[in-house]
Structure 1
Amino acid sequence: MQLSATPYEERLTAPRSWWLISFLVGVSFALILLPFGTLPLLGGLVGGTAAAAVVASAYGSPRIRVVGDSLIAGEAKIPVAVLGATEVLDAEEARAWRTHKADTRAFLLLRAYIPTALRVEVTDPQDPTPYLYLSTREPERLAAAIEAARTAHA
């Protein structure tokens, strides 16, 4: 099995501020449990911080990959053969496609903390999804990897 000529992998890691917020959630739990003593207070701090960090990590860290003849975005796996034109979206255009230009049938791997994105048309007539909106820090590289995979497996 041959991999695409331009392999691509990106993890959309959560911003640093989310980790501070996770700690503050732990502090909140500790303050709630303060009347019950020192051990519950420490348990609230550790447990609350850990629970909030797990949630931040799970939501804030999806992966986008181009592997072989497939684009894998979060939990979606799409063959590159059914993908059409790509459009690199700067911060302003990405905001427009997240709001007033958005189609409710589109697949969105949307992370508001990432300002740029890539819009990829879906050309499969059997699929009602008109396009994929993928938040990415490197939209040009992702577009090139999709194109390289498409031509390698055409």
Structure 2
Amino acid sequence: MSDAVDDPAVRHRERLWPSPGVWCTAPALGLLSGLALAVVVPPWAALTTAVAVTAAALVALARTSAIVEVSAASLRAGRARIPLTALGRVAVLDAERMRALRGVDADARAYLCQRGWLRRGVVVEVVDPTDPTPYWLLSSRQPERLAAAVRSTPGEPFEGFEDGWSR
């Protein structure tokens, strides 16, 4: 889901909100906490704990929902930011390739801004020779739009890449 953006320099912006199933874990966690305490504390204390745990879980889910944004000058994913001039090839990933880059095909030096509840995403090559990060792996609900926003950066075109890279 994209967030509304008034800044014309922003080409793409989305918040990686949890899926409905993940949101449902917060009340479940609160309920289980309250039930666990119900046998040793008064009912009001168990209920208070259940409400507090639910509220804390909901706040934690909201606060940890990263923002992915492409502006005229940079790509921001979570707390990290990189200039667009430091980026190279970009590819939209299907669920299978995204899973592989999260696991068996992962490079430990890569920057990951991924959420398990989002199955698709984008991989963006980092071409800055001073940056040891080979690529950014970003989850997205709209990976085609995210890739298009990164691709619209000025610079030299890239041609003939294997492994699904495109620009």
Q: Same fold (TM over 0.5)?
A: yes
Q: Distance in 1 between matches of 2:125 and 2:136?
A: 6
Counterpart code for 1:26: G
Cα distance, 1:62 vs structure 2? 0.7
Gaps of at least 5 residues in structure 1 are: none
1:50 is aligned to 55
1:101 is aligned to 105
Q: Is 1:151 paired with 2:154?
A: yes
Question: Which of the two has greater helix per residue?
Answer: 1
1:14 is aligned to 18
Cα distance, 1:143 vs structure 2? 1.1
Q: Which runs of 4+ in 1 moved over 6 A?
A: none
Gaps of at least 5 residues in structure 2 are: 1-6, 156-167
Equivalent runs, 1:50-69 vs 2, <5 Å: 50-59=55-64, 61-69=65-73
SS of the aligned residue for 2:107 comes to coil
2:3 is aligned to none
TM-score by length of 2: 0.82
1:37 is aligned to 42
2:158 is aligned to none
**Higher relative contact order by CA 8 Å / sep ≥ 6: 1 or 2?**
1
1:77 is aligned to 81
The count of aligned residue pairs is: 148
Cα distance, 1:111 vs structure 2? 1.0
Q: Distance in 2 between matches of 1:92 and 1:19?
A: 25
Cα distance, 1:85 vs structure 2? 0.6
TM-score by length of 1: 0.89
